[in-house]
Amino acid sequence: MIALISGRIVYKGVAHVIVDVQGVGYRVFIPLTTFYELPETGHAITLHIHTNVKDDAIHLFGFHSVQERDLFQLMISVSGIGPKIAMNILSGISAPELLNAISGGNVGKLVNVPGVGKKMAERLVLELKEKVLKKMMIEQIPNEGTPKSTQDVILEDALSALVNLGYKSNAAKDALNKIVRTSEENLSMDKLLKDTLKILAG
């Protein structure tokens, strides 16, 4: 099974991309959340893949993050939810928000996602809540109710500022995390932005 694809984007669409991997073009279906993170046509890309094998076709579903791919795989394990519906759900809500909604049993939040009715939302919570809670614990993902530290708030504000300046969210996150890992003390917003911009400019 194909689990990862790295190559060059030769076609970029809202619903799928074609990635050239050493002369072979792979059509990969993507959610909107992944589309927003894509570079321009001609640039290199790496996508985390779920391979769906049917009697008459092999479909590749690609995701910007492992977290998105894992959530997709969890959702298609729920009765009545196939790849198309799972992709629609991921297009309408971010992976962290979806994790928090399922783990917190927030049916109302899920119903607000286009294409998700009350019965489907309840089924997602019923069948996936324990699995999602376990995943969040392993990955140390905070619940919505967990108070954010001052440093967390500064990091979020810094990321927002960098994205507004035109930097890709993924590159900005990597640079911010690098600064935080190498710093022995909490950083002010000004210091954090200054140091992160140096990395991004280099």
CATH number for position 107: 1.10.150.20
DSSP output for 8-75? EEEEE-SSEEEEEETTEEEEEE--HHHHTT---TTSEEEEEEEEEE-SS-EEEEEESSHHHHHHHHHH
**Residues 134 and 80 grouped into a single domain:** yes
* Structure token pair of residue 149: 């530290």
Do the domain assignments include residue 20? Answer: yes
Cβ atoms 52, 83 nearer than 8 A: yes
In terms of residue numbers, what domain contains 85? Answer: 66-139
SS3 139: helix
Segment 157-162 mean pLDDT: 80
Closest CA to 103 of 76, 139, 79: 139
- pLDDT, position 140: 56
pTM above 0.85, yes or no: no
Do the domain assignments include residue 81? Answer: yes
Tell which of 63, 79, 113 closes a domain: 63
95-148 tens-digit pLDDT: 888 988 888 888 988 998 888 899 999 999 999 988 888 776 666 555 554 444
The DSSP bridge partners found for residue 60 are 28, 51
The angle subtended at Cα 63 by Cα 57 and Cα 67, nearest 5°, is 125
Do the domain assignments include residue 145? Answer: no
**Residues 58 and 107 grouped into a single domain:** no
- Report how many domains make up the chain: 3
Segment 139-159 mean pLDDT: 62
Do the domain assignments include residue 34? Answer: yes
Instruction: In whole angstroms, give the CA distance from residue 92 to residue 98.
Output: 10
- pLDDT, position 152: 67
**Residues 110 and 73 grouped into a single domain:** yes
- What one-letter code names the amino acid at 133? L
Write down the residue that tokens 């060059």 correspond to. 8
CATH number for position 49: 2.40.50.140
Count of H-run helices and E-run strands, the chain: 9, 5
Q: Is the dihedral of CA 177, 179, 181, 184 positive or negative?
A: negative
**Residues 125 and 154 grouped into a single domain:** no
